[in-house]
């Protein structure tokens, strides 16, 4: 199985976190990024020209969430999603929240401005947009995620799940953009993230992407 897309993309990283946690062999093609979409990529893999995409033999698939659903069905013994239908549904909701709200209002602003525009494209970027995201967008998002976490170890209880992976992936991108959850304001959420980063599969994923990251940052 080949996962296509540069691994510093939060959507690519989310899939890699799943594959790594569940010990599923894959190959990553990091040559495709939003700034480098090869000819024919849209036609073969992703009509929107986004990453990630998956190639599994003759089968090609776009979109991180669709890819995770496919991997879940291809490797039922890995139990990527909970067998409990309500836990699974909640996991899908949190993943969607992270992919849209967190990605759109935080990562898509802070990581995009400071890293993509500032470092990768070497363009002037808008620190005003970044500050607005930090001051106005972040608090309700982290209040909500704190309410989901409560006193649990992970977002869905005592099992590390795709919901945690989806959030962690956005938070890693945000940390590259110099933004971290304020441990005074959201102490449980900050401690939870520190714990996630110490998981062996997460450490493997993060150390593997450092080389690519170093080219930009
Ligand atoms: N819903 C998609 C979002 C993918 C996405 O937005 N990827 C970004 C990279 S982080 C991208 O390829 N952007 C390029 C573009 O929007 O043209 C998924 O989950 O795969």
Does residue 98 sit in the same domain as residue 177? yes
Q: What is the CATH number of the domain that holds 185?
A: 1.20.1050.10
137 close to 109: Cβ distance less than 8 angstroms = yes
| Cβ of 95 below 6 Å from ligand 1 | no
| Cβ of 4 below 6 Å from ligand 1 | no
- Range of 19's domain? 2-78
Q: What is the pTM of this model?
A: 0.97
Q: What confidence tens digit (pLDDT) does each residue in 127-141 have?
A: 999 999 999 999 999
- The radius of gyration of the chain from alpha carbons, rounded to an integer in Å, stands at 17
| Cβ of 115 below 6 Å from ligand 1 | no
Domain boundary among 32, 52, 78: 78
119 close to 176: Cβ distance less than 8 angstroms = no
Does residue 183 sit in the same domain as residue 94? yes
pLDDT for residue 120 is more than 80: yes
Other C-beta atoms lying within 10 Å of the C-beta of residue 153:
15
Q: Which atom of ligand 1 is nearest to the CA of 34?
A: 14
Q: By alpha-carbon position, which residue is closest to atom 1 of ligand 1?
A: 63
CA dist., res. 143 & res. 101, Å (int): 13
Question: Which element (helix H / strand E) includes 54?
Answer: strand 53-56
| Cβ of 170 below 6 Å from ligand 1 | no
Q: What confidence tens digit (pLDDT) does each residue in 65-86 have?
A: 999 999 999 999 999 999 999 9
SS3 144: helix
> Would you state the structure tokens that stand for residue 27, as one six-digit string?
């190959």
């Amino acid at each position: 199985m080949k996962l296509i897309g540069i691994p510093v993309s939060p959507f690519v990283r989310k899939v890699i976190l799943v594959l790594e946690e569940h010990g599923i062999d894959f190959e990553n093609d990091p040559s495709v990024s939003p700034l480098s979409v090869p000819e024919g990529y849209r036609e073969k893999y992703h009509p929107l020209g986004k990453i990630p995409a998956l190639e599994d033999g003759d089968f090609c698939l776009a979109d991180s969430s669709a890819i995770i659903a496919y991997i879940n069905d291809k490797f039922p013994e890995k139990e990527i999603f909970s067998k409990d239908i309500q836990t699974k549904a909640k996991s899908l909701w949190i993943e969607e929240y992270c992919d849209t709200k967190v990605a759109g209002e935080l990562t898509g602003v802070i990581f995009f401005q400071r890293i993509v525009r500032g470092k990768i494209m070497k363009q002037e970027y808008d620190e005003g947009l970044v500050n607005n995201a930090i001051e106005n967008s972040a608090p309700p998002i982290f209040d909500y995620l704190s309410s989901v976490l409560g006193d649990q170890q992970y977002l869905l209880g005592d099992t590390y799940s795709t919901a945690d992976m989806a959030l962690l992936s956005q938070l890693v991108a945000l940390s590259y953009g110099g933004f971290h959850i304020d441990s005074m304001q959201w102490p449980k959420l900050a401690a939870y993230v520190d714990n996630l980063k110490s998981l062996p599969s997460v450490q493997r994923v993060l150390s593997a992407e450092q080389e690519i990251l170093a080219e930009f940052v």
